[in-house]
Chains A and B, each alone.
Chain A
Amino acid sequence: MSKTLSNHMKMKKDQENIRLSVKNLKKYFKETSGFMGRNVELVKAVDDVSFSLGKNETIGVVGESGCGKTTLGKTVMRILEPTSGKILLNTRENETIDIVEAEKEQMKKVRKEMQMVFQDPKSSLNPRMSIKDIVGEPFDILNLVESKKEKEGKVLDALERVGLKPEHMERYPHEFSGGQKQRIGIARALAVNPSILLLDEPTSALDVSVQAKILNLLNKIKRDLKLSFIFISHDLGVVYHMSEKIMVMYLGKVVEFGDSEKIYHNPQHPYTKSLFSSLPVPDPREKRKRIEIDGDLPSPKNPPEGCRFNTRCFEELNEECKKRIPPLREIQDGHWVACPQKR
């Protein structure tokens, strides 16, 4: 009795703290072929994903290429239209908006709450616009400023926050280095003063020294502005460094979710295990068992029956693995795994 009560209390407390909760989100791409598109194939890029993001929290999304990380991000931002599911956003004015069903006016509110930083700094800035125009664009689109002067002041603020100088305003993207471009991308996302920042592999196109600078900048921004991050990356080290929670995706499904310490030190799902065993160890004398998995990522057009990982799993498979899609189960407090063999 007391346990359920405390659970209830905890849940209520969690609810108040939640910024964004994604429920059963699905994004299927239709691929048509044949005469007049007679044959329709579904590519299940994001399949039944649920998670919630707390205030001031970072969720790291990891997984290999093609597992649906980026699609998840774009669907949450509604750059891509979700097939089904719910994305509930709690704004700072304590309003709950379902992004999937939001109308135009509501979407404007969503845009002010949630912004995205893109993967490739080279192509995420329009080459024909000056930095002033790029960072000032959100103000124009969302009608946030009255005058040109006000806009310029806000653009300056945004640039200053990411460590760029006022004289950079009149320049064009091709005049900047990769790291600077990414800073401009971050400035653009921060311009509208959002509460959630969606970072789609923000450092994967940069070299290591610049990566560190950008990551530190992001952490500082998060602290200063009290932001929540969804941090998408394939770099496990970076994700561990950045996030409180980690979500591991495989073929459009979440296979493991939980506190990053728990997942990093005690991975439960065979896929997560193999992922983390591939991390290089700084100490050359330390012996570490590497788990290698065979084969390639199966096509998301026709994923394997049952557990999607069963074609590459190194553990002994049982009947359930091949028949039923395993649901996410809480095996420990704050540690969820989708594997039929873990209880």
Chain B
Amino acid sequence: MPKYERLSPEELEVYEEFKRKENQKIGAVFLVVVFVFILTKWFLLTRGNIDSILLRYIGVGAYLLFFYFFLKNIYRWYSDVNYRYRANPIKRFFNRFYKNKLAVFGLFVAITIIILAVFAPMLAPYNVDNYQSSWTKFSMIPPTKRHVFGATNAGADLFSLCLYGARIALTFGIGVTAIGVSIGIVLGLIAGYYGGWIDRFLQYLNDVVMAFPFLVLVITVMGALLANPALRESVTQIGNFLNVPGKLFIAFVALSLFGWTGAYRLIRGKVFSVREEEYIDAAKSLGASNRVIMTKHILRNSLTPVIVQASISVGGYIITAASLTFLGLGANPSIPSWGRLLSQGNAYVTQLRYFHLTLFPGLFLTMTVLAFTTLGDGLRDALDPTMRRNDQ
């Protein structure tokens, strides 16, 4: 393969023209979609039919169409034909990332879930404030037109609950990862760069943290904190403030403080190899300070594995949150979460007519985790092709 392919000026002009037309097409499609959406809404409103399934389908269709064109377009923005292989690292990254269709799908699902979670109050067709109220005539009905996922034991709309459940799952997964990875990066950078006794100390700390049985720790801390009414009150308040309610907040803190080891070990190992490179010596010979060397030279070149690991661990933490809630150690019953939906449906898992109780929350959970995992895999392949596994 040639290192890069250059287009002749004529070819380049043709390509630019093509690009322009494609962009115009995308703009046109977007406008048409918005127009149709507004028109339908107006039409339905005039007939007094506010909650319409048709509108929902149009909305979903518009979103899919928009996303499809968005992905196609962003690929064009970031890949430059004339400098296909000699472009800057960001362009190279996008070139490689978009070749991996599974990873693009993962990105699509992840972004979709995030949008669903953020806009859940607007997107959910039913109010779920009192979803625990007593038995109603809707209880456990199978999927219908009005309730696409069916209803729960208490007769609440399962689809709405799944959307709301995404909020807590993502807050937990992304929050814990963000805190854990930040701590891990800082500690790993310090340990790897300075070495010596600092490194040894952090390494012992890492070993201790890794040796803790997490579940036992969470249960113990929870027991200790919740036994004291004053402490319980303050924990609940902080948790509510952070939108991570109740017991799950304790798990959140515990996981954040204990979840840094993965990123720490990756960064530390990478820093050990990067700091021996000659460009570090070159920066030193220019008189660069430790801070500049650490951030500009070392961190930049050792972040790749951590980005990948972070994406994968978001999925892992979502699973953890769900399993804790399933066990009754997680979110309060008043907050909809996938784990709780699963544990409620658990009693009926053997009965086929109640399949929706576990299938849909489970599907949401699995898809989210899979999305973040494939996204992580794709990121790894795109960021650092040398790290690619042999099976591809």
Nearest chain B CB to A204 CB, angstrom units: 13
Q: With A130-B88, A141-B292, A172-B89 in contact, do A123 and B277 touch (Cβ < 8 Å)? A: yes
CB-defined interface of A52-96 with B at 8 Å, one 1/0 digit per residue?
000000000000000000000010010100000000000000000
Complex Cα distance, B286 from A163, in Å, reads 22
CB-defined interface of B278-313 with A at 8 Å, one 1/0 digit per residue?
110111111110001000110011000000000000
A118 and B292 within 8 A (CB): no
A124 and B278 within 8 A (CB): yes
B286 and A175 within 8 A (CB): no
B281 and A74 within 8 A (CB): yes
Range of interface residues on A (Cβ < 8 Å): 20 to 34
A137 and B86 within 8 A (CB): no
B282 and A118 within 8 A (CB): yes
Q: How many residues on B have C-beta within 8 angstroms of the other chain's C-beta atoms? A: 19
A188 and B282 within 8 A (CB): yes
Complex Cα distance, B281 from A170, in Å, reads 23
Complex Cα distance, B297 from A141, in Å, reads 13
A138 and B277 within 8 A (CB): no
Residues of A contacting B89 in the complex (Cβ-Cβ under 8 angstroms): 128, 172
Q: Is A119 an interface residue (CB 8 A)?
A: yes
Q: Is A324 an interface residue (CB 8 A)?
A: no
Q: Name the interface residues of A170-221: CB closer than 8 Å to any CB of B.
A: 170-172, 175, 185, 188, 192
Complex Cα distance, B349 from A285, in Å, reads 94
Nearest to B277 among chain A residues (CB) is: A123
Residues of A contacting B300 in the complex (Cβ-Cβ under 8 angstroms): 126, 128-129
> How many contacts between A and B, using CB within 8 angstroms?
64
Nearest chain B CB to A75 CB, angstrom units: 12
A116 and B287 within 8 A (CB): no
Residues of B contacting A111 in the complex (Cβ-Cβ under 8 angstroms): 285-287
Nearest chain B CB to A127 CB, angstrom units: 7
B286 and A137 within 8 A (CB): yes
A107 and B287 within 8 A (CB): yes
Complex Cα distance, B282 from A111, in Å, reads 11
A125 and B279 within 8 A (CB): yes
Residues of A contacting B279 in the complex (Cβ-Cβ under 8 angstroms): 123-126
Nearest chain A CB to B384 CB, angstrom units: 11
B301 and A127 within 8 A (CB): yes
Nearest to B87 among chain A residues (CB) is: A172
Q: With A120-B278, A126-B300, A127-B301 in contact, do A79 and B285 touch (Cβ < 8 Å)? A: yes
Residues of B contacting A175 in the complex (Cβ-Cβ under 8 angstroms): 86
Q: Name the interface residues of A90-142: CB closer than 8 Å to any CB of B.
A: 107-108, 111, 115-116, 118-120, 123-130, 137-138, 141-142
Contact with A126, one of B86, B284, B297 (Cβ below 8 angstroms): B297
CB-defined interface of A142-154 with B at 8 Å, one 1/0 digit per residue?
1000000000000
Nearest chain B CB to A27 CB, angstrom units: 15
Nearest chain B CB to A213 CB, angstrom units: 21
Residues of A contacting B86 in the complex (Cβ-Cβ under 8 angstroms): 171-172, 175
Complex Cα distance, B90 from A170, in Å, reads 13
Complex Cα distance, B286 from A262, in Å, reads 36
Smallest CB-CB A-B distances: 7 pairs: A124-B278, A111-B287, A126-B279, A123-B278, A118-B278, A116-B285, A123-B277
**Cβ contacts A to B, 12 pairs, < 8 Å:** A79-B284, A111-B285, A115-B286, A116-B282, A118-B278, A118-B282, A119-B278, A120-B278, A123-B278, A126-B279, A127-B301, A142-B287
Residues of A with Cβ closer than 8 Å to B? 74, 77, 79, 107-108, 111, 115-116, 118-120, 123-130, 137-138, 141-142, 170-172, 175, 185, 188, 192
Residues of B with Cβ closer than 8 Å to A? 86, 88-89, 277-279, 281-288, 292, 296-297, 300-301
